[in-house]
Structure 1
Amino acid sequence: MRPSGFRLHGRALFAIAALSGGAPAAAHSFGVVYNLPVPLWLYLYGAAAALISSFVVVAYFVSVPAAATATASRELSGQPWVRALRRAKPALRVAGVALLMLCIVSGLFGTRSAYGNFNMSFFWIVFLLGFAYLTALLGDFYAALNPWCAIADGIARCWPGYTRGRYAWPAQLAYWPALALYAALIWLELFGHIKPDSLAIMLLAYTVLNLVAVPLFGRESWFRYGEFFGVFFSLIARCAPLDYRPASGQRRGELHLRKPFSGLLDLRIEHLSLLLFVLFMLSSTAFDGLHETVAWTQLFWIDLYHRLTPWLGANPFQAYPLLRRWYLVWQTLALLLSPFLYLAVYWLFVATARALTRSTHSVRELALRFTGTLLPIALVYHVTHYYTLLLVQGPRVLSLASDPLGRNWNLFGTAGWFRAPYIPDIGRVWHVQVALIVAGHILSVYLAHVEALRTFADARRATLSQLPMLVLMVMFTVAGLWILSQPIQPGG
């Protein structure tokens, strides 16, 4: 039992940390307390029951022949609207480069206000959120419009051989550079206190990195393995009903229509680094929600502080400056280790499935094979945590487009649009979040069963292999809903 004196000091330190917190919360955009209409345990039991019921239905009705035809598609390349899009592609690529340059210029020379500068809203809200969700609906159009790829192609017109590359991409590198860059972006988003000018410098540095990497490793290799936005959007695009296949060699780009999410069944993860990239899409979103909660903050500022008092002393005001630096290290380690924690849990359940089925496939092979079935969960986690930001801040881009530097301009007559903030009903937000999380996990259950039927070609063994995965899905669902239900510390 903790001494009453420590409880007082620990809570005093927690209050100091909360009052001196950094930027406003990103994932949870409401500063009010919302009481659930029914106890949380009822939501958890209901979600678990929905998953188990869906598993029974899928196991009973989905057969081996149905699994074999799950990825059928129809080519749309000859459609008039597709031909029109192909003709518009050069103009769209120029627009993409122009928007990148505008983000850099507005950050360097515009207002320092995060809410008044175009680049903050466009990059964090429209590009990272809006374009990601659009990709889940329309496919990997980023592969055709990638502004850094467009700049490299433009340089190649004046510098023949620029995109060929001097060195072959090292096989051992695989997707590690993309994962490292992705982790760096999330760290900067959460702990970097990014402002318009620092965002502009970040985008400028990333542009230079791309333009240096292309002549070293070649256009094809770099934009496949190293350019992490391309990796991120290509994974999300597997959920879309439209399958854009970029031009390669003499073959023109093609567009195919397929069943939504069926592209995940064609996804073949060839390296552990790409599996970790997918798991980081999951874990970083979960961490973003968790690290702002009172429960997580108390774990460090009260529980850990209790163990450190022999070295730090009992005066919270003296201990706070040092603990604040340690807190950043603690947060950083938690973020960077999160995909490896998810990997350990995922690996354990895959190993259990292999043991139950006595499969000849290795655990590594099975883990890579079923990675795609985790992407619907990653997508719905992303949506549930961030879609309110898109609703609240996204429309402001239209007004900021008329005044990108914050100089009281009105270039397109939209400067007065969407000035009043839109605050969605928090009860409705919670129920949308619950519905999305449950739906995403049910979809993952279905895809995992289809993949199991294709892997084992035996309905009984396929169903048996999915029992551990069902437990894993229930755990993910419970954890996701619990995080969303937690109160957020003041100053997030």
Structure 2
Amino acid sequence: MVDPVPRCRARAARVTRAAVVAAGLATCGAGPALAHATEGGLVLLLPTDVYTAAGAAAVALTVVLMALLPDRTMARVFAPLSLFRLPTGRGPQVTSLLSSLGFLWLLWQGMTGERDPMENPLTLGVWTVFWIALVVVQGVLFDIWRWVNPWSGPAALLRGLGLRPVLPLLARLGYGPGIVTFLGFASFLMADPAPADPARLALFGGLYWLGNLAAALLFGPRWLRRGEGLTLLMRSYARMSLVARRGGRLRLGLSGWRVLRTRVPGGGWAVFMLMMLACGSFDGVNETFWWLGVLGLNPLEFPGRSAVVAQNLAGLLAANALLIAVFAVTVKMGLALNRSTLGLGPAMRLFAPTVLPIALGYHLAHYYTAFLVEGQYLWAMIEMAFEAGHDHHGHDHHVTTGFFNTTDSMRRIWLTQAGAVVLGHVIAVMLAHAVALRVFGSARRALLSQAPLALFMIGYTFFGLWLLASPRGV
């Protein structure tokens, strides 16, 4: 990065760039260790401490504002507008079938196509289209997963042909299967030595798709609601979308309005929502120089991801346990300050959905730079497919990363990322206050119950912005 400050900082920038290149060469020398498609060394030399303080201050001011607003204001803020009535039909089942066929084609490309992740449609389809773009669309705009879920259509078709569930999905398992399958996906993403390798991704993706389709046939449709981790993640983020169908009508509201108008999640689902935030946070932590230092590794002599598989798995599990424990303590402290008779379990179920804006904001921020690069490769691939169908040749598909080398563009990128994190925390504070008002009635009791949780969210703002600005080299 180019830093607009005097000579000493310019020299530091040159040294940093040389160090990152050295780390890349060292990694290549140790053998292939592909991570997410465009993850690599990054040291941000902007004055991020100022922005971090400003972001945390914005969240703190939101907490103060919540204390000053009249009790009924939050109900009005999150009240959705009714747009128009929507027809019902089998459209989602048809598009789901098409989505599953498309995914099977991607798997075939992963096994037989180009070995370069940026030249193989499977890698771009999974990590760029699904994991970045569709997750953001799901959480920000509308429930797109209802239309592209690659299991619901095939399962419905096979049930229509006479296949019936043969085993009940035991109620006492709750959302446990969904937690396990999501942890399996997160482990592959964060701990596997080469999650972007097309052949490796095709094997994991094929087994994951086939295993969950078999489970959906064995246990019935309930499996996709409780047992399949990615569907559970998308159902959780659907509570954050601006537009949603409710009561047969399309409604539009402030992000998070559905949290206040849907059923309180079960205990397992509440834990899953906290895990979404924990996994997203560790997805950033495990790339930082700080984490490599914890593992006793020199980031400039990184031996490759295959050397830290067990450590990353342990870190992922520890991050989930730590966040759930800290959140439980803050909720318990709020109940104690409020002298509430509400139990910890019901309170956790009520307030866990309020962390969804934080998880979504960090997901957007964390993958924003990856999307800026991978999106170009994806667009080039689409253009080449179109040109091949029309016999056009000679078009030069240029992919650039030059925006990482100028101060102005990096400042815009950083402010976009920081804005997503801060906005997520602001909405989370507002949602938590609205939930507390509904549960405890008076503004005073709501504020007492929210004081520890508000401090948690302000602290997490600092953590999220620090994470974005931390040097990364994995």
TM-score scaled by structure 2?
A: 0.84
In 2, Cα distance between equivalents of 1:183 and 1:17: 32
In 2, Cα distance between equivalents of 1:53 and 1:145: 40
Tell me what 1:306 maps to: none
Instruction: Give the 3-state SS of the residue equivalent to 2:82 in structure 1.
Output: strand
In 2, Cα distance between equivalents of 1:59 and 1:417: 57
Instruction: Give the 3-state SS of the residue equivalent to 2:165 in structure 1.
Output: coil
Larger radius of gyration: 1
The equivalent position to 1:196 in structure 2, one of 190, 195, 198, is 198
In 2, Cα distance between equivalents of 1:108 and 1:203: 11
Q: How far apart are 1:285 and its partner, in Å? A: 1.8
- Residue-pair matches, total: 441
Q: Does the alignment pair 1:293 with 2:293?
A: no
Tell me what 1:172 maps to: 172
Q: Does the alignment pair 1:410 with 2:388?
A: yes
Amino acid at match of 1:184: G
In 1, Cα distance between equivalents of 2:383 and 2:203: 23
Instruction: Give the 3-state SS of the residue equivalent to 1:301 in structure 2.
Output: coil
Aligned ranges 1:27-176 → 2 under 5 Å: 29=39, 31=41, 33-36=43-46, 38=47, 40=49, 42-64=50-72, 66-67=74-75, 70-72=78-80, 74=82, 76-78=84-86, 89=92, 92-157=95-160, 159-160=161-162, 162=163, 164-176=164-176
Distance 1:413 1:370, change over 3 A: farther
Instruction: Give the 3-state SS of the residue equivalent to 2:166 in structure 1.
Output: coil
In 1, Cα distance between equivalents of 2:155 and 2:105: 18
2:182–2:228 Cα contact (<8 Å) kept: no
Amino acid at match of 1:280: M
Tell me what 1:333 maps to: 314
Aligned ranges 1:318-357 → 2 under 5 Å: 327-357=308-338
Distance 1:74 1:224, change over 3 A: same
Distance 1:354 1:28, change over 3 A: farther
Tell me what 2:259 maps to: 264
Amino acid at match of 2:149: N
The equivalent position to 1:451 in structure 2, one of 430, 435, 460, is 435
Instruction: Give the 3-state SS of the residue equivalent to 1:76 in structure 2.
Output: strand
Distance 1:262 1:31, change over 3 A: same
Tell me what 2:452 maps to: 468
In 1, Cα distance between equivalents of 2:335 and 2:353: 18
In 1, Cα distance between equivalents of 2:69 and 2:431: 13
Distance 1:426 1:465, change over 3 A: same
Tell me what 1:421 maps to: 400
Q: Does the alignment pair 1:275 with 2:270?
A: yes
Tell me what 1:377 maps to: 358
2:110–2:199 Cα contact (<8 Å) kept: yes
Amino acid at match of 2:128: I
2:103–2:150 Cα contact (<8 Å) kept: yes
Amino acid at match of 2:451: L
In 2, Cα distance between equivalents of 1:336 and 1:468: 24
Instruction: Give the 3-state SS of the residue equivalent to 2:118 in structure 1.
Output: coil
Instruction: Give the 3-state SS of the residue equivalent to 1:371 in structure 2.
Output: helix
Amino acid at match of 1:179: I
2:71–2:437 Cα contact (<8 Å) kept: yes
In 2, Cα distance between equivalents of 1:27 and 1:396: 11
Distance 1:267 1:391, change over 3 A: farther
In 2, Cα distance between equivalents of 1:350 and 1:368: 10
Q: How far apart are 1:73 and its partner, in Å? A: 5.1
1:28–1:289 Cα contact (<8 Å) kept: no
In 2, Cα distance between equivalents of 1:330 and 1:68: 47
Tell me what 1:310 maps to: none
In 1, Cα distance between equivalents of 2:218 and 2:348: 32
Q: Which piece of structure 1 moves more, 179-188 or 345-354?
A: 179-188
TM-score scaled by structure 1?
A: 0.81
In 2, Cα distance between equivalents of 1:336 and 1:296: 15
Amino acid at match of 1:421: T
1:177–1:225 Cα contact (<8 Å) kept: yes
1:27–1:385 Cα contact (<8 Å) kept: no
2:59–2:422 Cα contact (<8 Å) kept: yes
Q: Does the alignment pair 1:207 with 2:209?
A: yes
Amino acid at match of 1:370: F
2:71–2:442 Cα contact (<8 Å) kept: no
